[in-house]
Each structure stands twice: as C-alpha cells, then as structure tokens.
Amino acid sequence: MNDLTVIAGPTEAFSDAPFEARHLVNGAWCDSASGEVSERLSPAHGLVVSRAARGTRAETDAAISAARAAFDADDWSRRSGKERATLLLKVADLIDRDRARIARMEVLESGKPIAQAEAEIEGAADLWRYAASLARTMHGESHNTLGPDMLGVVLKEPIGVVSIITPWNFPFLIVSQKLPFALAAGCTCVIKPSELTPSTTVILGGLLLEAGVPAGVVNIVLGYGDPVGIALSTDPRVDMVTFTGSTAVGKHISEAAAATLKKVSLELGGKNPQVIFSDADLEQAIDAIAFGVYFNAGECCNSSSRILVQQDIADEVIERITAMSRSVSFGDPLNPATKVGAIISPEHQAKIDGYVRAARAAGAAVPIGGEILRVPGLAGQFYQPTVVGPVSPDMPIATEEVFGPVLAVLTFRDMDDALEIVNGSAYGLSAGVWSENVHTCLEFARRAKAGTIWTNTWMDGFPEMPFGGMRESGQGRELGRYGLEEFLETKTLTMRIGKTRGAWVR
C-alpha cells in the first residue's frame, strides 16, 4: 500500500506528563474511595497519557446527592436567565483561552488529528455562547383566548437533576451539546465521560469552577458504565438521563431508567447513506464521500459509511473515490497536516478489520485498503482508507455501524429503489442526496426517514439546527431551541379573573 498518503511519526519528542483526572463532587476534586485508577494509552503513540480515578457507587452516590441538594436548594434553578447566561459566556471565553491545551489532550486520548480537535473545541465554545442566548430568551406561552374570565399561562421549568453520559469519539464537543443547555434550563448535572477519554471533561470542570459555578451544580464521576453509568440511570434522585453512545447501551439505559420513569434522551448510532443520482455534481460529491467516511477515522455517529450510487455511474464513482482515498493523509494526529488519525483501541481496530474480511469472504471487491495500517514511527493502531463494493444491501458491512474508515458502496435503479434501501435500515440518524435536480432532492428529503437530511452537502451542523435520530438512532433532539426544550418541564397555570362562574353544587 505504498500509494497511500501516510504521515509518519513522531511529529515531536513526546514529553507530556500523564494528566491526573479526578472526580468533581460538590465543588471539590476527589479520588475514588477505593483508590483505583485507570490508565489511558494514546491510541496513536501507545504511551500513557492520563490516569483517571475509577469511580464506584460511593462517588456516584455522593455526586447525585450533591446535584440533588443543589437543585432542591432552588438557587441555580431560580437565578435569572441573565445570571445563568453570564456564567455560560464566561465558560465560553475560558474554553477559547485554553483551546490549545484542551485540543492536545483530546488528541492524546482519542487519536483524532490536532487541526480537527482545535476546530471542535472552537465549535464547543460557540455552543456555550448559543446556550447562553437561550438562557435569556426562553419563555413559555400565554393564552388570552379562553374566555373573558380566564387567563392561561404555560410555564417552563427545569426538569431537575440530569445524568449526562458521553462517548469517546467527540468527548468535549458532545458534553458541550448537553451541559450548557441543561445549565441554561436551570438543571443540575452529574456527568460521566467515557472511560477512554475522561480528561477534557475534567478540564471543563476546572473551567466551570473558575467561572464560578456554584458547588453541586456540575459534578463529574469518572469510570465505567458498570457501576457509574448504571447508577446514573437507575437512581431515583435523578430526573433525566441524556446519553450519547451505542444503540445497544442506549437500550439498556432506557430499560434501566423506566423503573423510575426518568425522562431519557438518546443520541445513538447510524448507518448514514449518501445517495448519488446520475445527474449529481460528481466533483463535489466525491469530496463529500471522502469527508463523510474518513472524518474522525469513521468513528462518527454521522459517518456516511454507506453510499448508494445510481447504477449507470457506479463504476465511475468507485474509481474516483478510490483515487481520492489515496490523497487523504492518514497518520500522526499531532501533525497539523494529518486528516485521519488513530483508531480508539486495538479491540475496535480488530472489529473494523472483521467487517472488511467478512465482506471480502462473501465476494465483495476491495479496490483500496482493507488492512491494518502501519504508520512508521508510531506504536498505536490505525486502519487503511478502505472502499468495499459494490455490496448487496443485506451484508453486515452495508447495514451495521462499522465505525472505521470503511466505505460500503451499494447501487440503486431509481428513487423508489433508493428509498427502499435507505429506509430499510433500523437506523435513522442522517441521510444525504446528490442531484442537480431540485425536485429529486426535495422528494428524497421528504421521503427519507432520518433526523437530518443534507442535500448536495454532508455533515454541516449549526448550534441553531436541531440534531437527533429517528428509530434506533435515538429519541429527543440536541441543539437549537429543541435542545433546550429537552431539559424543561411544562407547567400549566390556569387563572380565573373575577369571581367564580357559579357554584357546581347549588
């Protein structure tokens, strides 16, 4: 595979001392009572980059108590929108100040490229600013049409204590899609980051303290799904769980939360198709296909890991995406020229490889990639840019989330055929359509079952635009005013004007 663009390492002599990550409970940093610690190796370099306290039920219990007490004290939840917004804006400024430090830590724990990480942290600060604007502008509604003697008011109130459980692929960005919105609403929170990428959430905790967040309003417990995540989903003192992660764990959380009827908001997996019609602008589409599948090494809920190509242009598209794949730079994530970094863990690398091997064994062509990538000078795990296809719609590589830099190419005859394949998936996170005909784009957009549809573009996102999945891709929405709404209860206030309408009994 000499014809791939590989960025060898190491870009620099590696001298970072491992980050020491501790729990944040009731405004103070603490270790686990058990004294247990987990070490994290950089996925690219194979060196220890952080040591995190490994939480037990004891720390989780203390964090939930702190969040409950802070909420019930009615201080944070009853502060004015202006006060809450002021704190969120301060946090945004601190994130900007520390962008380089946060981005570097994100690279060391997740393996993503430094230039991308910096853009994500910049985007995260913008989410804090957007949530601040919502804190000041949210409101309920009034009903002045209920008759001359009645006035109705709909109040919006914070839902209460929120558990926030996040994955490893966009650790800082995803916590920033949830926490500032929950805080804007007036909720108090307990956060559990992924055990693989805890440190940037801990850095965020430090920034919150610096900005003056009251004790107990934001708590962080580090550790694994069992026991920390389970306790956060079952404890009766928690009012809501917001989770981003795999569909399998999302189902467990939904079940666990049902016992106490907590509200559950789930951002789960996807098998997101881009559908390329014969009249598409292929120059644009091919670049978007490469971006869609290789961004974040394909470890992205929005990864476009399958494309559907109209039959008469299938050979050309496979040829062109194969050629473009050779120019995408894979390698050392600390090099600013790298576009695709390391794979999160050796186990995950083996899982990606398993999907490609199974497809090859079933007869699918692999015009490029399909092997573990060795990056000179680096001990971590990588995977080659890989194109597989054409494949049939029922193959696991065409239906399941591979979560690696692996593209499955399917073909279709016409709109109905394409929609049958697109909507035949259990997932419904996002989908895209490429055509120069606006009618084709609009018909696809209305008939495809997915939370987000992109026409002639891929993966553009904005704080103003809601994001979330249909079917097994999740429930609830993040971002936009809908993202705030998730953290609010609705209270109906019905008021009589003047004396009662007359006795019910006499």
Residues noted as catalytic: 267, 301
**Angle at CA of residue 312, ends 306 and 317, nearest 5°:** 45
Query: At its nearest, how many Å lie between ligand NAD and the CB of residue 166?
Result: 6
**Angle at CA of residue 340, ends 335 and 341, nearest 5°:** 65
Query: At its nearest, how many Å lie between ligand NAD and the CB of residue 264?
Result: 11
Query: At its nearest, how many Å lie between ligand NAD and the CB of residue 299?
Result: 7
Bond from prior residue into 227 cis (ω within 30 degrees of 0):
yes
User: How many chain residues touch ligand NAD (CB under 6 A)?
Assistant: 31
**Which of the residues 388 through 447 are near ligand NAD (CB under 6 A)?**
401, 429
Centre a 10 Å sphere on the Cβ of residue 73 and count the other Cβ atoms it contains.
Answer: 14
**Does 244 engage in binding with ligand NAD (CB under 6 A)?**
yes
CA torsion angle for 480, 483, 488, 493 (degrees, to 10)? Answer: 30
* Cβ-Cβ contacts under 8 Å for 139 (sequence gap 6 or more): 156
- The interface region with ligand NAD, picked from 127-135, 148-156, 165-173, 383-391 by CB under 6 A, is 165-173
> For 370, left (φ over 0), alpha (ψ -120 to 50), or beta?
left
Taking only Cα atoms into account, the Rg of the chain, rounded to an integer number of angstroms, comes to 24
Most distant CA pair in the chain, distance: 93
**Residue among 195 and 332 whose Cβ is closer to ligand NAD:** 195
Helix (H) or strand (E) holding 170: none
- The interface region with ligand NAD, picked from 12-20, 38-46, 120-128, 168-176 by CB under 6 A, is 168-176
**Which of the residues 282 through 321 are near ligand NAD (CB under 6 A)?**
301
- The interface region with ligand NAD, picked from 4-12, 33-41, 161-169, 328-336 by CB under 6 A, is 161-169
**Residue among 9 and 229 whose Cβ is closer to ligand NAD:** 229
Query: At its nearest, how many Å lie between ligand NAD and the CB of residue 145?
Result: 39
Centre a 10 Å sphere on the Cβ of residue 460 and count the other Cβ atoms it contains.
Answer: 8
**Residue among 146 and 248 whose Cβ is closer to ligand NAD:** 248
The amino acid at 456:
N
**Residue among 331 and 474 whose Cβ is closer to ligand NAD:** 474
User: Which one of residues 58, 115, 230, 365 is an interface residue with ligand NAD (CB under 6 A)?
Assistant: 230
- As a whole number of angstroms, the distance between CA 83 and CA 335 comes to 41
Phi, psi of 368 (to 5 degrees): -150, 145
**Angle at CA of residue 468, ends 429 and 413, nearest 5°:** 25
Query: At its nearest, how many Å lie between ligand NAD and the CB of residue 196?
Result: 7
**Residue among 55 and 393 whose Cβ is closer to ligand NAD:** 55
**Residue among 283 and 460 whose Cβ is closer to ligand NAD:** 460
**Which of the residues 188 through 207 are near ligand NAD (CB under 6 A)?**
192, 194-195
User: Which one of residues 245, 369, 480, 483 is an interface residue with ligand NAD (CB under 6 A)?
Assistant: 245
* Cβ-Cβ contacts under 8 Å for 335 (sequence gap 6 or more): 7, 9, 11, 113, 114
**Which of the residues 51 through 80 are near ligand NAD (CB under 6 A)?**
none
User: Which one of residues 50, 110, 199, 233 is an interface residue with ligand NAD (CB under 6 A)?
Assistant: 233
User: Which one of residues 53, 191, 253, 397 is an interface residue with ligand NAD (CB under 6 A)?
Assistant: 253
The interface mask with ligand NAD, positions 207-226, x = CB under 6 A, is: -----------------xxx
**Does 450 engage in binding with ligand NAD (CB under 6 A)?**
no
- As a whole number of angstroms, the distance between CA 138 and CA 322 comes to 48
Q: Which residues of 31-55 are buried (b: 16+ CB within 10 A; e: fewer)?
A: ebeeeebbebbbbbbeeebbbbbbb
Centre a 10 Å sphere on the Cβ of residue 500 and count the other Cβ atoms it contains.
Answer: 8
Query: At its nearest, how many Å lie between ligand NAD and the CB of residue 27?
Result: 23
**Residue among 109 and 332 whose Cβ is closer to ligand NAD:** 109
SS3 505: coil
Paired tokens of 143: 């009903």
- The interface region with ligand NAD, picked from 63-71, 116-124, 242-250, 284-292 by CB under 6 A, is 242-250
Binding residues for ligand NAD, per CB under 6 A?
Answer: 165-170, 174, 192, 194-195, 224-226, 229-230, 233, 244-246, 249, 252-253, 267-270, 301, 401, 429, 469, 474
